[in-house]
Amino acid sequence: MASAKPPPPSKPPASIHPTAVIAEKAVLSGTNRVTIGENVVLHPYARVRAENGVVAIGDNCIIYERATVGCETTSATGAKGGSDVSIGAGCVIESNAVVEGQIGECSELGVAACVGKGAKVGRYCKIAAMERVEAGEELEDFTVVFADGRRRVSRTMRDHESVREAKHKGQMMAVELMRKMIPNSAVKWTM
């Protein structure tokens, strides 16, 4: 006698901008609302988890392979309970990174980095590969986290509008390239 397959994860109620690109193998799950902004790119195997709170992804973000945005019952940092997750416009979430808190606009989360439940990361921050922002922690704008949790402020990013404009322009070019490379399957989440 064959055992029954478990049911697929529930589709969350979703508001997906028509210009967003969601790869066929990306996963959206949970029962809370997911909002995906203009020109967002979700790579194959990226996961958006709305089981324990609302998830909002701002315009022009790129979420790479195997990255997870949203919280399970027990988070990657061990914190329990529900939590809303938001990512500001122009952010990059690299492969295997986990976002369980809030990230300000134009920030970057490196490969396998983690932002814990309830953490707040400011604008134009950079969390290097495999670094962590602990649950409930807050980072000021322009903070860089690197080398086993060391912190510094990127004065170049903070003090030079032209550098921030160049970063924004580069992000827009990356989004446009990804939109051409990744087949869009967003329709399966909006039906």
Q: Which residue has the higher pLDDT, 82 or 30?
A: 30
Strands ordered across the beta sheet of 138-139 = 14-16, 34-36, 55-57, 85-87, 102-103, 120-121, 138-139
Decide if pLDDT at 187 tops 80: yes
pTM: 0.89
Which residues pair with residue 74 across a beta bridge? 80
Decide if pLDDT at 163 tops 90: yes
Q: Which domains does the chain have, with CATH numbers?
A: 14-183 (2.160.10.10)
Confidence category of residue 69, pLDDT binned at 50, 70, 90: very high
Decide if pLDDT at 189 tops 70: yes
Per-residue pLDDT, 12: 78
Mean pLDDT of 74-88: 69
